Amino acid sequence: VLDIRKLYGQADVFTYDPGFTSTASCDSTITFIDGDKGELWYRGYPIEQLADKSNYLEVCYLLLYGELPSAEQMKDFELRVTRHTMVHEQMHNFFRGFRRDAHPMATLVGVVGAMSAFYHDSTDVADPEQREIASIRLIAKLPTIAAMAYKYSIGQPFVYPRNDLDYAANFLHMCFAVPAEPYKVDPALARAMDRIFTLHADHEQNASTSTVRLAGSSGANPFACIAAGIACLWGPAHGGANQACLEMLREIGTVDRIPEYIAKAKDKDDPFRLMGFGHRVYKNFDPRAKVMKESADEVLELLGIHNNPTLQVAKELEKIALEDEYFVSKKLYPNVDFYSGIILEAMGFPTSMFTPIFALSRTVGWISQWKEMIADPQNKIGRPRQLYVGSERRDYQDIAKR
């Protein structure tokens, strides 16, 4: 048995906190979460008010600069973003390097990282102006890149951005327009899309944001940092849960099969978890899930989809779980991913696009957090310690003697 006291001197004391459940890695003025009350604020504004009254680009401004913009500031910001929505024609070659049916998240990680090979005038982290241009470029181009990754994965030609449309409408246009067929974005669907973007815009020090901060703490350029965040988001315990959740709801299929899945989720010997349920910080309803549930009802109504079996399963599953002792005692409530997939599916997105949509929405949060960190005079490279539990010191043995 390893005697740790022999290895670590008295002075070498640090906190052992796997999963960082009780470690604050930074101070921040951006986002506040009260997990017990189920509250979420961006720069002090409750998420419900922003989802109802604001729009995604205004929320981007708020997250980036700390205050809501005046009308003039908003106009200028919109212009700055729309000016950067196109990607360089040469970047199309990056997409062509991927297999024709590549998952859009794989493409997104690669292409966003590769932006550092293109935009040399916005990779100097020490220059505030370059940081600003990089931020605008990322916010402007992420929808274009995500839509291109989607088009590529289904073998359709890329659709160029339309700067006369707003941010969400333009994204729908780039995803769903096809040559020689008129496509008109439904403003109500664009509004629902915009709300999904807003609800995902930031969420303080979650795994992907912490990844962006950690990558950025070494001085890595912003495109590399955001690519790192996208990679982290992909996992099913994080942003990948929206895809996994819809696949689970489809697999359950009918309301009568719910008890079987609830039993599986409660079984300690079964690794199955109810996707879209539970959260590290929320020990109450995720406020984003509440707004998302209302949106799901609105969008299905708008599209004339009645008695949607997936929504029926979701609502019944939520009801049963919220009355079940296991979920109640562990404070497991639906999270943001529980209802978002239903809306996205109704809009026509395949499940493989759910996490890319999360990534493009979260880009502004990642950038705001990255900028806050870089501007902080206390900023230093992130370097967690470990508790070594390996072998004691031993001498090398020649291979012939082993």
Whether 337 is a known active-site residue: answer yes
Whether 103 is a known active-site residue: answer no
159/244 with CB nearer ligand ACO: 244
* Exposure of 77 in the CB half-sphere (CA atoms within 13 A): 22
336/344 with CB nearer ligand ACO: 336
Q: Which residues contact 147 (CB under 8 A, 6 or more apart)?
A: 158, 159, 171, 174, 175
161/278 with CB nearer ligand ACO: 278
Tokens representing 386 are 């470990």
Q: Which of 330, 348, 384, 387 binds ligand ACO (CB under 6 A)?
A: 330
174/196 with CB nearer ligand ACO: 196
- Asked if 241 touches ligand ACO (CB under 6 A), the answer is yes
Beta carbons of 275 and 322 less than 8 angstroms apart: no
Of 166, 202, 286, 337, the active-site residue reads: 337
Stretch of 83-91, 147-155, 180-188, 275-283 lying at the interface with ligand ACO (CB under 6 A): 275-283
- Asked if 337 touches ligand ACO (CB under 6 A), the answer is yes
166/337 with CB nearer ligand ACO: 337
3-class DSSP state for residue 34?
Answer: strand
**Partners of residue 45 on adjacent β-strands:** 42
- Asked if 276 touches ligand ACO (CB under 6 A), the answer is yes
Stretch of 41-49, 268-276, 296-304, 394-402 lying at the interface with ligand ACO (CB under 6 A): 268-276
Measured in whole angstroms, how far is the alpha carbon of residue 392 from the centre of its chain? 42
The residue behind tokens 């079996």 is: 309
153/335 with CB nearer ligand ACO: 335
% helix / strand / coil in the chain, to the nearest 5?
A: 55, 5, 40
69/287 with CB nearer ligand ACO: 287
Q: What H or E segment, with its residue span, contains residue 207?
A: helix 207-217
Q: Which of 109, 275, 314, 353 binds ligand ACO (CB under 6 A)?
A: 275
Q: What is the DSSP letter of 25?
A: -
Of 279, 297, 324, 395, the active-site residue reads: 279
Smallest distance, ligand ACO to C-beta of residue 287, A: 12
The closest of 98, 178, 84 to 134, measured between CA atoms, is: 84
Number of residues counted as binding ligand ACO (CB under 6 A):
19
- Asked if 362 touches ligand ACO (CB under 6 A), the answer is no
The closest of 157, 132, 131 to 216, measured between CA atoms, is: 131
3-class DSSP state for residue 46?
Answer: strand
- Asked if 249 touches ligand ACO (CB under 6 A), the answer is no
Q: Which of 80, 273, 283, 315 binds ligand ACO (CB under 6 A)?
A: 273
- Asked if 283 touches ligand ACO (CB under 6 A), the answer is no
Smallest distance, ligand ACO to C-beta of residue 136, A: 25
Q: Which residues contact 90 (CB under 8 A, 6 or more apart)?
A: 118
Beta carbons of 265 and 276 less than 8 angstroms apart: no
- Asked if 216 touches ligand ACO (CB under 6 A), the answer is no
Beta carbons of 302 and 190 less than 8 angstroms apart: no
x/- letters, 145..184, toward ligand ACO (CB under 6 A): ----------------------------------------
- Asked if 238 touches ligand ACO (CB under 6 A), the answer is yes
**Partners of residue 167 on adjacent β-strands:** none
Q: Which residues are catalytic?
A: 279, 337
